[in-house]
Chains A and B, each alone.
Chain A
Amino acid sequence: MSATYVLILAVVGFAAGTLGSIVGLGGGILIIPVLAVYMGVPMHQAIGVSLMAVIATSTATSSVNVERGVTDIRLGMTLELATTLGAVAAAVIAGYVHRTTLAILFTCFLLYTGLSLLKRAWQGRYQKAESTIPPYDVRNYPAGMGAAFFAGGMSGLLGIGGGAVKVPVMYLFMGIPLRVATATSNFMIGVTASASAFIYWGRGDVLMALAAPIVVGVFAGSLTGARLAPKLRASYVLGILIIVTLYLASQMIAKIAEGKI
């Protein structure tokens, strides 16, 4: 593999790690379409590599968040019972799913993410993030476990973190403050992704040559993002992400229409 190729992969990982850690997304949403559309990586292997990036994001951000006490480890561990089961089941099923079907499902999720970011940018003009954590009681575990199982399944099938599913459910239905919900979701996606990463790895869908440079980029990007986050206007970053996700979705649709994915 050429040095240029390694460099491009590291830059993709860096961008995904930076944008992801600022906005609270796993990097998969950017890494998979870039690999599939521009580098001709088959969907299953793009997902396998993305799972490694998700583990890297979770490990890097959680090592900081956990010691700050923002992460609810007990809540996270409980929900992980459901996310890992969903992830393993979906990862096994993914082996039987045609790559084009996976590409279509992923594109739907990409569009959904782009539109929900757009909604968040629109509403975000009026709300401020909590600076201190208000007291809370965890309630409605059944809804949380159901959402966690579903999020785990999305992770195992599409190689994403699944925070887009878990965070709103924890925040709206379980009574968890947004900061704790986001940090706990970031904490959980590493274990969830590793549950399905083993299956992808066993099938030969985790390509080391692709994973290594991307992981290095994601680590560097997550740390940079964490440093930059307080200094940046989140709305600018949201704006960039909205444009990028919607553009990548259009590229995915074009490739699917050409029958090249």
Chain B
Amino acid sequence: MSTDLNQSAPGRTRDTRSEDRAVGLVLRIGAYLSIVLIVLGGLVSLAHAATGRYVTEAGVLVLMSTPITRVLVAAIVFWREGDRRYAWISIGVFVILIGSSLLAALKILPTLER
């Protein structure tokens, strides 16, 4: 399927498969790791509530950081392929995501009454 797309799409002469594979792998690992941690946390919490909650929260955090990881991996793969343009675009998205998490972590976001 991937090869067909490359051949049929004009302007896409490069091999797109290596970043497809790398990004697909990151997404799959992120999905499975987070689901295993969340379910495991649920089971552990039956015996020990506090530990279980930590494991579950780790699973949700893995899910939350899977997109940022796939942006970083795409940037690295594009760079190594010599596709600087898309490497820089990926780095741009990565910087925005890091900026967003810093905004959150620094607790400088005031909230109004709701």
Contacts and interface: CB of A to CB of B under 8 A. Distances in A.
B27 A66 contact: yes
A197 B17 CA distance: 30
Nearest to B39: A216
B38 A216 contact: yes
Contacts of B34: 56, 215
Contacts of B38: 212, 215-216
Interface residues of A, number: 61
B10 A135 contact: yes
A201 B63 CA distance: 13
**Contact residues on B (Cβ < 8 Å of other chain), bracket:** 35 or more
A255 B9 CA distance: 50
A219 B97 contact: no
Contacts of A253: none
7 contacts: A69-B5, A77-B90, A84-B97, A195-B97, A198-B104, A201-B64, A203-B111
Given A68-B2, A78-B89, 15 more contacts: A43-B114, A44-B114, A66-B23, A67-B20, A78-B86, A81-B92, A81-B96, A84-B97, A96-B111, A136-B9, A191-B68, A195-B96, A202-B103, A202-B105, A215-B60
Interface of A: 6, 42-44, 52, 55-56, 58-60, 62-63, 66-71, 73-74, 77-78, 80-81, 84-85, 87-88, 91-92, 95-96, 98-99, 132-138, 190-191, 193-199, 201-203, 206, 208, 211-213, 215-216, 219
Interface of B: 1-6, 8-11, 16-17, 19-21, 23-24, 27-28, 30-31, 34-35, 38-39, 41-42, 53, 56-57, 59-60, 63-68, 70-71, 74, 86, 89-90, 92-93, 96-97, 99-101, 103-105, 107, 109-112, 114
- Ranked 5 nearest A-B pairs via Cβ: A202-B104, A69-B2, A63-B27, A67-B24, A194-B67
